[in-house]
Amino acid sequence: MSSGSLRLAFAEEYLGYLASVRHLSVASVRAYRSDLAAFEQWLAERGSDAADVDAAVGRRYIAHLSRNDAAVSTVNRSLSALKGYFRYLVRTERATASPFEGVRGLRKQSHLPSFLFEDEISDLLAVNGSDFPACRDRLILELLYSTGCRISELVMINLDEIDYKRGRVRVRGKGDKERFVFLGAPARRALADYLPLRSARLARAGLRDEKGLVINAQGGRLTQRGVAGIIKKRVAEKGLAKAVSPHTFRHSFATHILDRGADIRVVQELLGHSSLSTTQVYTHLGLGALKKIYEQAHPHAGTRSQRGDAYE
């Protein structure tokens, strides 16, 4: 949606503030723009404008989104965008109060994030081949699992952000916050295998100045979509029945190190979570591992006869 389509008086100024001061991503700013524009259109259809907005109007708008089967996350993001906009007006003395301040979001359904068991991860990381695509794909999978970083952080890693001696990488997370993540031995080996092939690929493409660590076949920085496609391809090759996304590696990373005794606050730092409550969801995932062990080992669980005498 073009910037000219917004008529809320200070919407463009607010969106600029989100991008330049709050350092929200391009995708987040685009989503907020869409949320503000949708609210504006809803007001226009009722012959109203922003000056007519009060808490009752705000509640009616949230009810309108819910009735139209919008996802809970979409409704709450829209409310967050509108609250943020009107708070900005109060802070910049364009308004005396925010009409959305008392409007509450919808309750999210609690769910545990999907993750892979250690044997499933090991199988997926076993990418055969020594050519450029194989070594690059193996590095991508190893980095996601070894560091727990987001896909958006992975594609933005530059060569000069890798500390080879200490086995760590500086990444930029949400809000442009920086943190260090660590490379396990398999990830370091994958990196060593990949770097000479990367250099050769860039030399052939005449792009020796490319800073991005992970590149595509043409020598440019690999995109998030490109990484997602690689993961989809490798999952299909392994015949995994589970749905696996780039974020599945992040969930698996957190689950496995917590299961092995890592302190939850350390995991919070490694994941770059601003709130401990976001990390605490992973403390419940150990139950899944216990259930799998039970199903494999208990005589009455119904799976041992299919697996043979692996535990005898």
Query: What residues are annotated to the active site?
Result: 150, 174, 247, 250, 273, 282
Please enumerate, as own/partner, the contacts of 76-80 that have beta carbons within 8 Å and a separation of 24 or more.
76/105, 76/106, 76/108, 77/31, 77/35, 78/35, 78/38, 78/39, 79/103, 79/105, 80/105
Cα distances (Å, whole numbers) of residue 139 to 121, 193, 250, 287: 14, 9, 15, 30
Which of 156, 286, 257 shows the shortest CA–CA distance to 211? 156
Instruction: Note whether 170 and 178 are within 8 A (CB).
Output: yes
36: number of Cβ within 10 Å:
25
Walk across the sheet containing 178-182 and list its strands. Answer: 162-163, 168-172, 178-182
Rounded distance between C-alpha atoms, residue 121 and residue 126, angstroms = 9
Rounded distance between C-alpha atoms, residue 187 and residue 204, angstroms = 26
Which DSSP letter does residue 34 get? H
Rounded distance between C-alpha atoms, residue 265 and residue 174, angstroms = 18
Rounded distance between C-alpha atoms, residue 226 and residue 228, angstroms = 5
Q: Where are the alpha helices (DSSP H) in the chain?
A: 11-20, 26-45, 55-67, 72-91, 118-125, 132-147, 151-155, 185-205, 224-238, 246-259, 264-271, 276-280, 286-297, 304-307
Rounded distance between C-alpha atoms, residue 153 and residue 170, angstroms = 10
CA 73 to chain centre: 14
